[in-house]
């Protein structure tokens, strides 16, 4: 083992809420020293986002900030402003997610940081970009999911538009911010120069439209809500069983034939309505009606075992407890515990430089004394 991949990289994390902190947490898991800068008194908004709360605070906050150290700085205060500037001067990465113009107001914008630290990567996360017309829009995941069209494709066909169960636009933006930051660090190895990395929630949400965005852009096709069914693959949805829901993912004609065989209806694979995937998509409602009656005959776990044994992708719709339990049953190790705080382990597995956190999420201003002393050193 040769240490950790980002060992020696210092990140000044001025971000808050979700997208930025998730990026900072990934960098910390990979070995970077991440210093979380928070406003005195209340700190990151997510510290108050609950219930539920654990002994260490809001579980929302705990899920996004492990591996970091916390310092409280009032950017409006002259002395604290000097410490913030010094932190940026020493940092390899400056990460921020304020409303456009805020960091510039505190003399911590890209141009100002680049002058004092030309090697710094400056990763800036916004909701709608940094254009003048976008500056007045507040940056919340719900608004972006609504305004990007993502909610228009989520939900039941005859129901209202729905947001996903978690802040997907924020999380996707955090991932793209991480990718951009790592790419800029790699480029710096050759050029010796830092650069600005900009990522916004709106464009990240467009990426999440995936095939539906491509369909619109290339054919003017307007996607609609399809519930748990897929607009271009059938059957690819959930079905009610005797005791719960079952997810079925039939990706090709051979899988469909095996599925029909296991259901005791092999003739369905030869039915002209269902011969090929385009045929099945065209007659998706008829097919779903037929399959629904068959799946009602047994429970979700039994169907899952039978279908998987037959080479058909299927699985029960688990609750979160069942999901973590299942992950452990198949040999995964999805939970990490640090000083009593449990969180989901990084999905990145590296053979020589592990992506494992070494520090629980910090309490507000927990490292004030040591960090202020360090930043005050000449």
Pairing mode, strands 196-200 and 121-126: parallel
Structure tokens belonging to residue 57: 């605070």
Q: DSSP per residue over 303-314, as a string?
A: HHHHHHHTT--E
Cβ burial 200-213 (10 Å sphere, 16+ → b, else e): bbbbbbbebbeebb
- Whether 45 sits among the annotated catalytic residues: the reply is no
Helix then strand then coil, % of the chain, to nearest 5: 45, 15, 40
Of 170, 220, 279, 356, catalytic: 170
- Closest by Cα among 96, 84, 155, 103 to 122: 96
SS (H, E, C) 28-86: HHCCCEEEEEECCCCCCHHHHCCCCEECCEEHHHHCCCCCEEEEECCCCCHHHHHHHHH
Q: What amino acid positions are annotated as catalytic residues?
A: 170
């Amino acid at each position: 083992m040769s240490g950790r991949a980002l060992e020696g990289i210092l990140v000044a994390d001025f971000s808050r809420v979700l997208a930025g902190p998730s990026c900072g947490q990934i960098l910390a898991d990979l070995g970077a020293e991440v210093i979380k800068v928070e406003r005195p008194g209340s700190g990151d908004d997510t510290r108050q986002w609950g219930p539920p709360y654990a002994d260490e605070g809001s579980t929302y906050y705990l899920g996004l900030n492990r591996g970091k150290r916390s310092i409280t700085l009032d950017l409006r205060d002259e002395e604290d402003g000097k410490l913030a500037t010094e932190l940026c001067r020493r940092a390899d990465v400056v990460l921020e997610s304020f409303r456009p113009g805020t960091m510039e107001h505190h003399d911590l914008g890209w141009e100002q940081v680049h002058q004092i630290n030309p090697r710094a990567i400056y990763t800036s996360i916004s909701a709608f970009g940094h254009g003048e017309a976008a500056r007045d829009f507040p940056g919340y995941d719900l608004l972006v999911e609504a305004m990007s069209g993502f909610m228009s494709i989520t939900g039941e066909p005859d129901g209202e538009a729905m947001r996903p169960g978690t802040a997907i636009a924020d999380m996707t933006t955090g991932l793209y911010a991480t990718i951009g930051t790592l790419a800029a660090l790699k480029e710096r190895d050759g050029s010796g120069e830092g650069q600005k990395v900009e990522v916004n929630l709106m464009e990240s949400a467009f990426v999440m439209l995936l095939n539906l965005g491509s369909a619109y852009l290339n054919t003017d096709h307007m996607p609609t809500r399809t519930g748990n069914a897929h607009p271009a693959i059938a059957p690819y949805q959930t079905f009610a069983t005797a005791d719960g829901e079952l997810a079925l993912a039939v990706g090709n004609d051979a899988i469909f034939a095996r599925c029909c065989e296991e259901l005791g209806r092999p003739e369905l694979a030869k039915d002209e309505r269902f011969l090929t995937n385009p045929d099945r998509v065209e007659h998706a409602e008829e097919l779903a009606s037929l399959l629904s009656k068959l799946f009602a005959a047994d429970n979700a776990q039994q169907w899952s075992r039978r279908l998987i044994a037959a080479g058909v992708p299927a699985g029960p719709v688990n609750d979160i407890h069942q999901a973590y339990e299942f992950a452990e049953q198949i040999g995964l190790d999805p939970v990490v515990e640090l000083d009593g705080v449990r969180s989901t382990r990084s999905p990145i597995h590296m053979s020589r430089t592990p992506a494992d956190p070494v520090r629980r999420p910090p309490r507000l201003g927990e490292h004030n004394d040591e960090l202020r002393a360090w930043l005050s050193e000449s």
